[in-house]
Amino acid sequence: MKETKTLSKVTIHFAGDSGDGIQLAGAQFASTTALAGNDLSTFPDFPAEIRAPIGTTAGVSGFQINFGSEEIHTPGGRPDVLVAMNAAAYKKNFANLKPAGVVIVDPAGFDKKNLRLAGYDDEENPLLNKPSDYQFYEIEVTRLNRDAMKDVDIAPRDRDRSRNMFVLGFIYFLYNRNLEVTLHFLEEKFKHKPAVLEANSKALKAGYNYGDTIEAITRYRIEKAKLPPGEYRNVTGNQALALGLIAAAKKSGLELFYGSYPITPASDILHELAARKNYGVKTFQAEDEIAAITAAIGASFGGALGVTGTSGPGMALKTEALGLAMMLELPLVVINVQRGGPSTGLPTKTEQSDLMQAVYGRNGETPIPVIAASSPSDCFRAAYEATRIALEHMTPVILLSDGYIANSSEPWLFPKAASLAEIKPPIRTKSGDFLPYERDAKEVREWALPGTPGLEHRLGGLEKEDKTGNVSYDPENHELMVKIRARKVALVAKDYPKTELLQGVEGAKLLILGWGNTKGAIQVAVSQALAQGLSVAQLHLHHLNPLPEDLGSLLESFERVLIPELNNGQLVRIIRDKYLVKADVLDKIKGQPFLAEEILDRIKKLLKDGDGN
């Protein structure tokens, strides 16, 4: 009988060529793990090229999952297990593996050709010089999988395409996972291709059964996580954004219009929404970014919830129309799923480099509220909040996500409709004494829908006369309108909840201030620092413009502030400029999210330099 050990959490990194089905295998493991009741976080990592060079490190596709019976905040730092389908995958990822980690390899991926493509010398096969303190499983995946395919009516060249299922089956055996979820997935995916279905099903079972044949192998059990009770589903950031928009549209009583031009890594939002026409969603794949945003503005003018989505380069193209939406004072949600830049940059890698663009990147005085999502499941809240602000304050709103959040997944507690806050757009219904730019106490004008008798009014990008909306070139009026629009955006902060620390206490030596996807890594690092007795606290921002009204007084209670960012230091400049506090930046611009250990190391260094604990 094989030994079984119980672990609190495990991090596995799947890696191979982009054609090896790594993302599919990782996603299936994540789905099975979620249904098993574990908390988890994933990080898919794609090559930047559509057809990356086969067998090279540039062509390696990766998928990391951190799962456990305890609360999980990140996809993990250094993995416990590395699955490397070829030499390039091994070379790119082995150095990140934890000491005494587990390595699963297919020797067929380490032949002379693969070694050469990966940049190894002819006599430098790493499998011949394995470190003794690691546990290696050299599994003849290619040969064993071909043996399993002997009776399957499938072309010989296609037999190797199911190797990912063989490896997945073996991992399922190691970690006591059930095959049924993936078998059902395969049945649905290949129901019109019986030979392909048979091949993948046999491969999955063959990998699982192979694990049972190995002597002296240790299996692992991870108990269910103690999560708050409720209905959960595994969700990616882009899926959660789409669901948040739908929920907000339903709560506000409006139809949802989404206009978008396909761009990595935002395209899945369009795919998700296009599949949900039964909720009254209207989607429009435009011919370019400008058409996408102007169509969304037109939908908003017509009384719908107008939304558009893109990534950094697309935001640059949408800039003029963003100014128009702000000048018209119409509700609009603009989603920017950030990626490595500038220009085409690193289209499949993550960055937080569009914050300055979101806050300042338009001509003239054009303040726009900016919201940031902090995790895949948090994208639902961020989309809902961005929509609420856009509708109730009659303004365009920019919602910042990024490639890491968009493609990663985690369990999400499915909310009840009754628990969602009301959204009340200021739609004008009565026709008497109408002035299109008359405002309430929050400087918000009413939304006059076309076709409503008596509510005809002038719209356009030219400066408007106060209250009437007529075109005005009067200098005093222009200054007045600029100040009014700025004040309207500033008053959005009146609706924010109180700013509260996530960990630690006010007056600590060091505050770690974050935004966006850094939340999980900061949470783990600060938790470890507090356990070591260090004087540190954590605060995470969701509203980046306007900033919370109570943020300044809170920052003043700390001696120093550290802001980890996946850019060259953008929020830190805004914080220094507005509050004149001593703020340091920990920047990282490598297309990869922070590791908790990177943040913890900087915390220790800053506190040591400041002679504080």
Domain end marker among 160, 195, 221 = 221
- Which residues lie across from 305 on neighbouring strands? 256
Domain end marker among 419, 448, 476 = 419
Amino acid at 546: P
Query: Phi and psi (nearest 5°) for 510?
Result: -140, 130
pLDDT digits (tens, 9 = 90+) for 427-469: 999 888 899 999 999 999 999 999 999 999 888 999 999 999 9
Question: For all residues of the chain together, what is the average pLDDT?
Answer: 95
Judged by average pLDDT, the poorest of 47-51, 259-263, 361-365, 395-399 is 47-51
Q: Give ∠ CA 222-227-233 in degrees, rounded to 5.
A: 90
Are 252 and 357 members of one domain? yes
Are 574 and 463 members of one domain? no
Are 149 and 259 members of one domain? no
The two structure tokens encoding residue 129:
């010089």
Stated as kind and residue range, the H or E segment containing 310 is strand 305-310
* Number of domain units in the chain: 4
Tell me, what CATH number does 524's domain have? 3.40.50.920
Residue predicted with more confidence, 492 or 230: 492
Does a structural domain hold residue 586? yes
Q: Is the previous residue joined to 369 through a cis bond, with omega within 30 degrees of 0? A: no
Q: Which residue has the tokens 């004149």?
A: 580
Does a structural domain hold residue 306? yes
Are 194 and 275 members of one domain? no
Those residues whose C-beta lies under 8 Å from the C-beta of residue 192, and which sit 6 or more positions away, are none
β pairing state of 39-45 and 9-17:
unpaired
Indicate the Cα dihedral angle 160, 165, 170, 176, nearest 10°. 180
Residue 216: what pLDDT? 66
Residue 613: what pLDDT? 47
- Crossing angle of helices 163-174 and 180-189, in 10° steps, is 160
Are 33 and 182 members of one domain? yes
Closest by alpha carbon to 396, among 419, 362, 439?
362
Does a structural domain hold residue 401? yes
Does a structural domain hold residue 502? no
CB atoms within 10 A of CB 65: 27
The two structure tokens encoding residue 191:
């129901």
Does a structural domain hold residue 198? yes
Residue 1: what pLDDT? 61
pLDDT digits (tens, 9 = 90+) for 78-96: 999 999 999 999 999 999 9
* DSSP output for 18-74: TTS-HHHHHHHHHHHHHHTT-EEEEEEE--SSTTPPTTSGGGEEEEEEEEESS---S
Are 76 and 215 members of one domain? yes
Domain end marker among 419, 434, 462 = 419
Are 247 and 130 members of one domain? no
Stated as kind and residue range, the H or E segment containing 181 is helix 180-189
What's the rounded Cα separation, in Å, for the pair 255 and 171?
45
Residue 612: what pLDDT? 45
Residue 327: what pLDDT? 96
Residue 371: what pLDDT? 98
Tell me the average pLDDT across 335-349.
95
Query: Phi and psi (nearest 5°) for 185?
Result: -60, -45
Report the predicted TM-score, pTM, of the whole model to 2 decimal places.
0.95
130-157 core/surface letters (b: 16 or more CB in 10 A; e: else): eeeeeeebebebbebbbebbeebeeeee
Are 53 and 163 members of one domain? yes
Does a structural domain hold residue 387? yes
- Domain span including residue 446: 426-495
Are 489 and 381 members of one domain? no
Tell me, what CATH number does 294's domain have? 3.40.50.970
pLDDT digits (tens, 9 = 90+) for 393-430: 999 999 999 999 999 999 999 999 999 999 999 999 98
Tell me, what CATH number does 21's domain have? 3.40.920.10
Does a structural domain hold residue 501? no
Are 415 and 435 members of one domain? no
> What's the burial of 313, exposed, middle or buried (CB within 10 Å: 0-12/13-18/19+)?
middle
Residue 224: what pLDDT? 95
pLDDT digits (tens, 9 = 90+) for 553-597: 999 999 999 999 999 999 999 999 999 999 999 999 999 999 999
- Crossing angle of helices 378-393 and 237-252, in 10° steps, is 40
Does a structural domain hold residue 226? no
> What's the burial of 441, exposed, middle or buried (CB within 10 Å: 0-12/13-18/19+)?
exposed
Are 415 and 430 members of one domain? no
Spatial contact of 326 and 395, defined as CB atoms under 8 Å apart:
yes
Are 187 and 324 members of one domain? no
